[in-house]
Amino acid sequence: MSPSQLTTAQLANAEITLPVAAGQVGRRSQALMAMVLGVFVVGVVGFSHIDVVHNAAHDVRHSNAFPCH
């Protein structure tokens, strides 16, 4: 039976499984990457000498109530 021939009831009862990062390695690597990205945005981009980049990071820090000066 092709997908176009399925009834509404069959579609409602169908299970869809998606791949999920599981286990400690997946969680640890995701947490590490989030921390690295956060340090990069706050530390590196925030102290950039390019005015547009610095001002964007500065505005984000203020909107998140992050003290910057």
Q: Is residue 11 part of a domain?
A: no
Q: Is residue 52 part of a domain?
A: yes
Lookup: tokens for 23: 């286990």
Q: Is residue 3 part of a domain?
A: no
This prediction has a pTM of: 0.43
Amino acid letter at 67? P
pLDDT of amino acid 35: 93
CA distance 33 to 40: 10
Q: Is residue 40 part of a domain?
A: yes
Cβ 63 vs Cβ 39: under 8 Å: no
Q: Provide the residue-wise pLDDT of the chain in tens; the chain has 69 residues.
A: 555 666 776 666 777 776 665 555 677 888 999 999 988 877 787 677 888 877 887 787 788 887 766
Instruction: Domain of residue 39: give its range.
Output: 21-69
Q: Is residue 2 part of a domain?
A: no
Q: How many domains does the chain have?
A: 1
Q: Is residue 38 part of a domain?
A: yes
Q: Is residue 1 part of a domain?
A: no
CA distance 65 to 59: 10
pLDDT of amino acid 51: 83
